[in-house]
Amino acid sequence: MGSLFDLGGQVAVVTGSSRGIGKAIAWHMAQHGAEVVISSRRQEACEEAAAEINTATGRKAAVAKAANISSKAELQALADFALATFGKVTALVCNAATNPYFGPMSGLADEQFVKILMNNVVSNHWLIQMLAPQMLERGEGSVTIISSIGGLKGSDVIGAYNVSKAADLQLARNLSVEYGPRGVRVNCICPGLVRTDFARALWENPDILKAATAGSSLKRIGEPDEIAGMAVFLASRAGAFTTGQGMVIDGGATIA
């Protein structure tokens, strides 16, 4: 039968993959046999991450292509690069996101709210529309959007970010309905608090960290590798009957 988690023959594009959760996802996808396109804003950072993966796997499993998710033209260049390099993309992971504001929504500037929605929702829509057609033509593929447990609850400090992550969950549901009959699955992963630079404002503050982990079952913060396994699952044969879902990985933070 082969491994349920074998990604041999697959090509994955992972945004925001030069560090944090995105890098862990790209690394583990490559370890499971996929070819991976590393992408973030800086080409140098992408190349460094790709080199690390290639050294770890002992093969040229990763290539680098910088793209700013706020630019539709750069995302199109990323999609074109991936297809020109590998001939196909079988797994898209929309991981890159923005949160330029920390505080109550009453203090949120219009330009900050627009930036959050554009980068965290609209940019995902753009890249999916660029890469989904060739998946649909073949009748197979997967799209995974990194949402957040923030999309499932309210907050007095990251409310606008939570709005965007709730929208990502609905984007996945809508597209799973549209794409499912043609063999393409769309899901979200909803991490809890994970030790990344992106979430530093939440876990570096001892009081916020204590409050964030006090109600969780595991009583601790998560690590990027602990999110990556779900991305491998969703792209693999193991996840072939999973679509339209928001897979919560939060150490039990949302169950109580």
Cα 71 from Cα 90, distance rounded (Å): 23
Three-state DSSP at 237 gives helix
Query: Is 101 a catalytic site residue?
Result: no
Residues 219, 213: contact at Cβ < 8 Å?
Answer: yes
Catalytic residue among 27, 81, 101, 161: 161
Closest CA to 18 of 204, 198, 247, 200: 198
Which residues have C-beta within 8 Å of that of residue 107, sequence separation ≥ 6?
101
Question: Mutual orientation of helices 72-86 and 123-138 as an angle, nearest 10°?
Answer: 30
Does residue 125 sit in helix, strand or coil?
helix
| Tokens coding 243 | 């679509």
The residues assigned a catalytic role are 161
